[in-house]
């Protein structure tokens, strides 16, 4: 901590990965193959869907204001490949919390004996968390609409590319 009271040890979620010299991002062979569309899910894959799932929740604060919080909603027909399908579904069931997304995605990858880089996965889950916070209204119901893509690109995409150490990523939407 410096004398001005500011803690200089604080980093945002993704900056810590970018600063580590051993961070290879998503440049490994397995990560590249899955991100670029290699299939690993069975044909009967289906996300678990709660019975009474709503698209939004209404929050009341102690200041008697009501806020609408849109929930991440996934649509299996939207994702361009298996990796993004699992990522979108895990974002939905975890309310876009990055650490829960990591746990959920790892569950599917381990089920298929895939050893995926935790650093790479954290890049994507943090990107989803960023999009959920920065672009909640635009992205909650449909991550593949133009408004969501524009907002995510403006607020979160550059950090994702820096974290993954990739120059470009395939479109996650069909």
Express each pLDDT in 145-162 by its tens digit: 999 999 999 999 999 999
Positions of E strands within the chain: 56-60, 66-70
**Tens digit of pLDDT for each residue in 133-142?**
999 999 877 8
pTM reported for the whole predicted model = 0.70
Does residue 145 lie in a domain region? yes
Assign 3-class secondary structure to 6-33: CCCCCCCCCHHHHHCCCCCCCCCHHHHH
77 burial level (CB within 10 Å; 0-12, 13-18, 19+): exposed
In 3D space, the residue among 77, 56, 80 whose CA is nearest the CA of residue 68 turns out to be 56
Q: Are 82 and 39 in contact (CB under 8 A)?
A: yes
Does residue 1 lie in a domain region? no
Does residue 5 lie in a domain region? no
As a whole number of angstroms, the distance between CA 150 and CA 146 comes to: 6
Number of domains in the chain: 1
Does residue 79 lie in a domain region? yes
Does residue 36 lie in a domain region? yes
Domain extent, residue 37, equals 15-164
Q: Return the pLDDT at 34.
A: 94
Does residue 9 lie in a domain region? no
Does residue 172 lie in a domain region? no
Does residue 2 lie in a domain region? no
As a whole number of angstroms, the distance between CA 55 and CA 67 comes to: 14
Asked if the model's pLDDT at residue 123 lies above 70, the reply is: yes
């Amino acid at each position: 901590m410096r004398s001005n009271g500011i803690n200089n040890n604080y980093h945002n979620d993704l900056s810590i990965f970018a600063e580590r010299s051993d961070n290879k991002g998503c440049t490994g062979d397995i990560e590249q193959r899955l991100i670029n569309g290699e299939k690993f899910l069975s044909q009967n894959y289906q996300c678990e869907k709660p019975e009474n799932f709503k698209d939004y929740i209404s929050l009341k604060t102690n200041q008697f204001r009501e806020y609408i919080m849109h929930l991440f909603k996934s649509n299996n027909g939207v994702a361009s490949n298996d990796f993004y399908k699992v990522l979108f579904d895990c974002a939905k069931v975890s309310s876009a919390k990055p650490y829960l997304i990591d746990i959920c995605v790892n569950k599917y990858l381990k089920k298929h004996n895939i050893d995926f880089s935790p650093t790479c996965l954290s890049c994507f889950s943090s990107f989803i968390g960023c999009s959920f916070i920065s672009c909640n209204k635009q992205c909650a119901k449909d991550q593949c609409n133009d408004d969501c893509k524009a907002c995510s690109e403006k607020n979160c995409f550059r950090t994702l590319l820096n974290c993954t150490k990739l120059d470009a990523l395939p479109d996650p939407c069909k």
